[in-house]
Structure 1
């Protein structure tokens, strides 16, 4: 594809990432930004490590923006025509640049996926989406580095080697996992990462090395985050409305889709209608988060941008609202404060179950969201915080449990 046309396709998302970089440059002095970036790349980065608290808002904005720009450049170098799966992967990398992924820990994972493509004698472009999504395991790189008292040469080598191995095994495992949930979750990579993380953590614990998650949350940047997020969402809606697509299909039709994998809105509805859906969903969940939790932080921001990515690849308001209703009910009925940070994160990332709700209906969606909340509160420790898409793993478990029942009852009618 001609480079100029390729740049046109990716221009909007490049501008989005650049916006956060520029904002970051004006929010704090250069010296503080550099120190913040250093704290970010040397942090263990396991769940939950809010980079806004660790490195400050400027360094976090720049970290996330640069991750997005770099990964977009890789995709463009591979001459990939954009679609919903690519945009989803880019938004996931960018969003988790607010907690968990940084400018150092993604590279061993990407290298491992690249080596797998070479071993299979296939072009890396065939694996770039799963490679980007495999960075869900990036905290494992930092965790090993910290465990053996880095920075030393041995610590760097061992952490890099571990990351390469994780990236290498991710593509075949992710490919197999699709068969297990049959396309009824949007985070297949998170489901696969969960199994890999369990194996990784169990091996360390078997040798007496205890890996643990933690909770570091920020609470001081709600206004800045709200303005930034809503501004970029409104820009996406504006671009979607002013551009005419060759597709005659409408936003109403998009909201009638079940979302079951693979439902690529950019393939089905053109380049601009999905942008409207992404912007609307992004604003809706930003406002909902502000009302329900009363604040915004790094993990919430990651959740919102992940949902925005989903909204180009199967998620719409019709199939996601029942999931959120079920998760909210679960948060209200359990023993924890309903608006706690942990529960809000579960609500946001539980939206990965949207295809299940879209296919089997809102009642099943509410039930799935409710069960997801219950399981997520009790199963997170087994991955020790190294799987950033842990709720994707939980979503897969929920679907595996509910799918046989829902399918059986559906067949009776």
Structure 2
């Protein structure tokens, strides 16, 4: 039964990711979408660089491929696709709209894999670090294309920098967890920020740090506006049918999730036996989109990235009850 449920999760996420890419291609056309996708690979990726300003189709293809890359890492790591890994996949999907690309993620993931081999552990035990560690992707892009060296030198240097960053992440992440005792759901992101400070200082000391500029798309394209409601509806539908336990049981399990603190590690797929985690993710998506519409913010890359991260952690710690007091505050 558990194996069947996990297979459904893989297929469902793969369909969502593929349809996201197809929606982007239909929005701008194949030639424009893939041209913009290639442009994104060499474009600046530091905060805040909104890939939707380059092209809607290219940004959606890039985000979907980053998500599929994460799904592939989980699959080939032979780790359970549940709350933590689903949160990781949705997070990198979201950041594929403003900072992460397949090109800047792969070296970091390879470094984490090498660290696992060196430590004599399986990649499965480090899979979350491989997913969330891609937060350092902009460092790879910066070294490759913005440091000012000729490309034959800068591209291998960027790959090496990402590999080294990924290799040391597991050791540093364990220490960072002790600082906040699990009350920060983004432990690997917290760790990447810590390492990013050192990388920034080193680049600045070498007089290789350029000032960053903010690229923020102020136009809400129709495809982006409907993307979150479409994904949220799909997740709610998935929650209702996977497995089909009846409306009353589903409702009770959704209520149960609202009572949990969400402190690390709280895997909602372990907490209940129904599709309530999927439904919780969908509800968070709908409410997040409604909030953005009410405040009048554009549905651009960074906003979509934030919402998709919230949706992902709807399987691993976030709920309406523990999110909205913070949002309203």
Structure 1 window deviating more from structure 2 (147-156 vs 45-54): it is 147-156
Aligned to 2:302: 299
* Residues 221-251 of structure 1: per-residue CA shift (max 9 Å, x gap): 3432121210110121122123325988611
CA distance in 2, matches of 1:160, 1:57: 27
* Aligned residue runs from structure 1 range 38-77, under 5 A: 38-54=38-54, 56-77=55-76
CA distance in 1, matches of 2:146, 2:81: 39
**Equivalent residues of 1:259, 1:313 under 8 A apart:** yes
* Aligned Cα root-mean-square deviation (Å): 2.0
SS at match of 1:177: helix
CA distance in 2, matches of 1:192, 1:294: 29
TM-score normalised to structure 2 length = 0.93
Aligned to 1:12: 12
Unpaired runs of at least 5, structure 1 = 327-413
SS at match of 2:67: helix
* Residues 303-340 of structure 1: per-residue CA shift (max 9 Å, x gap): 000000111101111111121122xxxxxxxxxxxxxx
Q: Which runs of 4+ in 1 moved over 4 A?
A: 1-6, 245-249
SS at match of 1:127: helix
* Residues 241-269 of structure 1: per-residue CA shift (max 9 Å, x gap): 23325988611111011111111101111
CA gap of 1:283–1:320, structure 2 versus 1, over 3 A, is same
* Residues 92-116 of structure 1: per-residue CA shift (max 9 Å, x gap): 1111110101121101100110111
Confirm whether residue 258 of structure 1 aligns to residue 261 of structure 2.
yes
TM-score normalised to structure 1 length = 0.75
Q: CA deviation at 1:276?
A: 0.7
Aligned to 1:340: none
SS at match of 1:225: helix
**Equivalent residues of 1:57, 1:221 under 8 A apart:** no
Confirm whether residue 202 of structure 1 aligns to residue 204 of structure 2.
no
CA gap of 1:151–1:226, structure 2 versus 1, over 3 A, is farther
CA gap of 1:6–1:266, structure 2 versus 1, over 3 A, is closer
CA distance in 1, matches of 2:189, 2:10: 25
Aligned to 2:286: 283
CA distance in 2, matches of 1:142, 1:190: 18
* Aligned residue runs from structure 1 range 169-184, under 5 A: 169-184=168-183
* Aligned residue runs from structure 1 range 2-401, under 5 A: 6-54=6-54, 56-149=55-148, 152-242=151-241, 243-245=243-245, 250-270=253-273, 272-326=275-329
* Residues 63-97 of structure 1: per-residue CA shift (max 9 Å, x gap): 11122122212211222221100001100111111
* Residues 6-25 of structure 1: per-residue CA shift (max 9 Å, x gap): 53231111111111111122
